[in-house]
Amino acid sequence: MQLGAHVSAAGGPQNAPERGREIGCDCIQIFTRNQRQWQVKPISDDEAAAFRENRRAHGIGAVMSHSSYLINLGTTDPDKFARSYNAFDQELIRCHQLGVELLNFHPGAHVGEGEATGIAQIAHALNALCRTHPDKTDVLLVLENVAGQGTTLGSSFEELRAILDQLEQPERFGVCIDTAHVFAAGYPIHTEEGWEETWEAFDRVLGMDRLVALHLNDSKPPFASRKDRHALIGRGEIGAEAFRRVLTDARTRSLPMFLETPAGPEGWAQEIEWLRGAARGEDRPLPQIGDAGVNL
C-alpha cells in the first residue's frame, strides 16, 4: 500500500521527497513547474540528479506529476492549442528528466465545439506527443477523470474510453480516478452497492488494468453535482466508509493513492495516519483538522 499527498516543490523539485517523508508519505504527487504560468524555468541537470537521489534517500515509492491547469488539449483555437500542446510537451520532458514515471492530466474541454470534436482534438494532441517522443516511454501518461463542470471531457468512463480508442499507442496511457470527481460525476461510491457498481462499470468500459493511481478526496458538493470542490476525508458528502473500502478492496488497495484534500501538509500527515489505521480495520475517529483551502 502506498499513501501520499500532493507536496510542494517550492525551491526546486528536489525538495519534494523530503517534504513528503516528513508527513509520512510513501508516494508523492508534485508540480514540476509553476502551474499558473506558461513560461517556466527549465530543470537543471543538478536539480534532476538531486531529485533522484533524494527520492531514493527518503524511500519514496511512486511519484506522479500533475500537469498545469492552464493546459487545454481539447481546444480548436489554433493559438490556445499550440500553447497548450507546447506546455504539455515540456511537462513530459521534465518528467523524463526527473525520472517521474506518472504524468497526470485533465483531458481538456471542448469549449462549445462539441464532445466529438473535443475528444478528437485531445487524441490528436496525444498522438502527436507520442510520435514526437518515442524515447520517453518511461513516463506513463495518466488521464484523470473530471467532475464534468462546463464543457470538460472525461467525467464518464465512456468519454475516457473514447479518447483511448483514438490513440495510436494506448499502451503508453493509464487512468487515475479522483474520488471526489467520480462522485460528482454521478458514480455512487458513497454506498456499498454503488461502490461495486462503479468498479464493475470501470472494468467493463476501461478494464481494471488501466487503473494506475487514485486521488483521495471527499466532496463538498452533493452527489452528481458535476462540481469540483474537495473536502477533508470523511468530512464531505462521500463519507468515511468509501475510504475504508478503497483501502481494503483488492481492486484498489495496492495502487498509489494521493491526497489532495484542503488539509495542508500537517493535516495530510493526520489523514495518512487515519487511512493507515482504516486499512488495518481500526475504527478510530476522524482527525480534527482545519481547511487550508487546498483544491487540486
So which residues are the catalytic ones? 36, 66, 69, 106, 144, 178, 181, 215, 228, 230, 260
Task: Choose among 194, 190, 182: nearest CA to 226.
Answer: 182
Task: Choose among 56, 65, 62: nearest CA to 3.
Answer: 62
Crossing angle of the two packed helices 192-205 and 240-248, in degrees rounded to 10? 50
Q: How far apart are CA 284 and CA 277, in angstroms?
A: 7
* Greatest CA separation for the chain: 54
Q: How far apart are CA 254 and CA 273, in angstroms?
A: 17
Strands in 102-261 per DSSP E: 102-105, 108-109, 140-144, 152-153, 173-178, 211-216, 218-219, 230-231, 256-259
Cα 160 → chain centroid: 14
The end-to-end CA distance of the chain, in Å, is 22
Which letter does DSSP use for residue 209 in this model? G
**Which DSSP helix (H) or strand (E) runs through 66?**
strand 63-66
Task: Choose among 153, 130, 157, 131: nearest CA to 141.
Answer: 130
Task: Choose among 39, 136, 130: nearest CA to 97.
Answer: 136
Q: Which three cell numbers stand for residue 46?
A: 543538478
